[in-house]
Amino acid sequence: MKPSSLKGTLVGAMFMTAVTALLLTGATMTVYEFSAYKQSLARHLASLAQTIAANSSALLVYDDQKVAQEVLSALKSEPAADAACFYDQAGRLYSAYPTNLAAGNFPVFPGPDGLRFSRLYLTIFQPVEEKGARVGTLFIREDLRGIYRRLGIYVSVVVVVMAGSAALALLLSTFFQQRITRPVLALAEVARQISQKKDFSVRADMGVSAEELRLLKEAFNEMLDRIHQRDVALQQAQRQLQQYAADLEARVTERTQSLEETTRQLYDFCYSVAHDLKAPIRAQVAYARLLLDDCGERLGPEGTTYAERIQAAGERQALLVNDLLAHVSLSRSDLPMAAVDLAETAENVRADLRLELERQGAAVDLSGVRGTVMANPASLHLILINLLSNALKFVPRGQQPRVRAWTEPRGEFLRLWVEDNGVGISSQYMDKLFGMFQRLHTREEYPGTGIGLALVKRATERMQGRVGVESQEVQGSRFWVELPAAAPLQNSGTTPDDRVEPIHKMSV
């Protein structure tokens, strides 16, 4: 919609103001005139009825119907009175005017005393009394169409006057708006030139007589002065900022490259150390096992205990080194991505854990796992084996592990849930759960290195995904992993209805 001009807005505003005032004045005068005329007509009819009733009591008492007819015929001098009649004391129609008017035009019985307005008529029932006693009733009806005709003429006159006044108001508005719009339009033209040419040295110079417009011109020019000064200062500051940004970008690039090189060297160092530790740890475990197998009888109970501790410590160190190597490998190498079937990967993980599942008598339901994600097959296998291993591990002693896994679509991602009936996680540990070497239990309660969930988080992030957990203490946990979906997945509806309703939630 095209915006209206200032001229048109001012003319329209002044014209509408004048027309509105004229309409209100005309409407008020019309309503007042109509109301005043109705009141005058009512007073006249009431006075007329009272006069006729006062002079008609004797004819009703003496039953002089001829005189009653003559009295009513006197209403010929009242053009608006089109019907009138007398009722006797019993309420029967006694005499009517005009005589040729059908009886259906008169009320069958007299109504309540007083005046009444209807749409077309004004009626009155006036009691006729003799010495304080009611001897009959006078009825008079006046036609209101005459007042409506008068009202129409009055409205026509008002409309003609209003039309002339509105035309005059339009002419005056058009003339007087120029005194306001001319300097304002000149100011707008200066602003347009500044906007197009970006030249803040232009100044407004138009002759104005009104004090307010003169102040507006001076304020506008003063504003242009300040803008010009700020524009010059801003350009200088912008050049300095660009130079500073270029220097800063170069320094950041240099520092980033240095940090990346340091990080790469650190990962290489960690990988080298961890890799070099594997051989002596394997030897430690192997020699401890040989010592127990070949020399167990000669060691005695105390020596056997020491040898078993050496072997257990070596196995823990081997597990820790393997987890460190896995974490470093995830951080330092590229991960080739491919479309991976989640159900197939989950079944492969179940096969890898078959001996542990049989040892614990665990119940694992993977029927709800379906769909394909974009992932690194080895990293996805690492994620699933850590989540399932934790679900089997962290259960109260003597309790059968029950694990359920399923998938559900989340926009362009696919979310894999792993739910267990384990010991759960307290809310105070949620923010530490996926950190390196973070353990919530002692090694005597639940063995492990504290790296497993850190591996899950790192692997998921490297594959552009997210990981989180929903849990409440003593009532199990639900871990979830979101990865980009390789193909659209329909909602399978396989989410268990009896799973734990979590209180504490966390996602990373």
| CATH code of residue 422 | 3.30.565.10
pTM: 0.41
User: Is pLDDT above 60 for 149?
Assistant: yes
For position 160, which CATH number holds? 3.30.450.20
Domain annotation covers residue 188: no
pLDDT in tens, 305-322: 877 777 666 655 565 556
Domain annotation covers residue 437: yes
373 shares a domain with 302? no
- Residue 398: closest CA among 360, 352, 436: 360
Q: How many domains does the chain divide into?
A: 3
473 shares a domain with 398? yes
496 shares a domain with 425? yes
275 shares a domain with 254? yes
351 shares a domain with 244? no
* pLDDT category of residue 482 using cuts at 50, 70 and 90: very high
208 shares a domain with 109? no
Domain annotation covers residue 446: yes
User: Is pLDDT above 50 for 493?
Assistant: no
Domain annotation covers residue 353: yes
% of residues, the chain, pLDDT over 90: 11
pLDDT of residue 368: 92
340 shares a domain with 325? no
User: Is pLDDT above 50 for 508?
Assistant: no
| Domain that includes residue 227, residue range | 200-333
Question: Would you call 95 helix, strand, or coil by DSSP?
Answer: strand
pLDDT in tens, 68-91: 888 888 888 888 888 999 898 888
Least confident of 191-205, 226-240, 285-299, 394-408: 191-205
pLDDT of residue 502: 40
Question: Would you call 375 helix, strand, or coil by DSSP?
Answer: strand
User: Is pLDDT above 70 for 148?
Assistant: yes
Which residues, other chains included, contact 485 with Cβ-Cβ below 8 Å and sequence gap of 6+? 371, 372, 373, 374, 409, 412, 413, 414
328 shares a domain with 219? yes
pLDDT of residue 495: 44
268 shares a domain with 252? yes
207 shares a domain with 137? no
End residue of a domain, out of 167, 185, 214: 167
CA angle 396, 401, 404 (to 5 degrees): 130
- Residue 454: closest CA among 471, 437, 470, 429: 437
394 shares a domain with 328? no
User: Is pLDDT above 70 for 375?
Assistant: yes
The average pLDDT across 389-409 equals 87
pLDDT of residue 501: 40
Which residues, other chains included, contact 371 with Cβ-Cβ below 8 Å and sequence gap of 6+? 341, 342, 343, 407, 409, 414, 485, 487, 489
394 shares a domain with 413? yes
What HEC string does 456-484 produce?
A: HHHHHHHCCCEEEEEECCCCCEEEEEEEE
pLDDT in tens, 344-367: 999 998 988 888 888 888 899 999
End residue of a domain, out of 167, 191, 225: 167
User: Is pLDDT above 80 for 430?
Assistant: no
340 — phi, psi (to 5°)?
-120, 130
* pLDDT category of residue 416 using cuts at 50, 70 and 90: very high
pLDDT of residue 429: 65
As given in the structure block, the two tokens for residue 283 are 């030897």
End residue of a domain, out of 308, 333, 358: 333
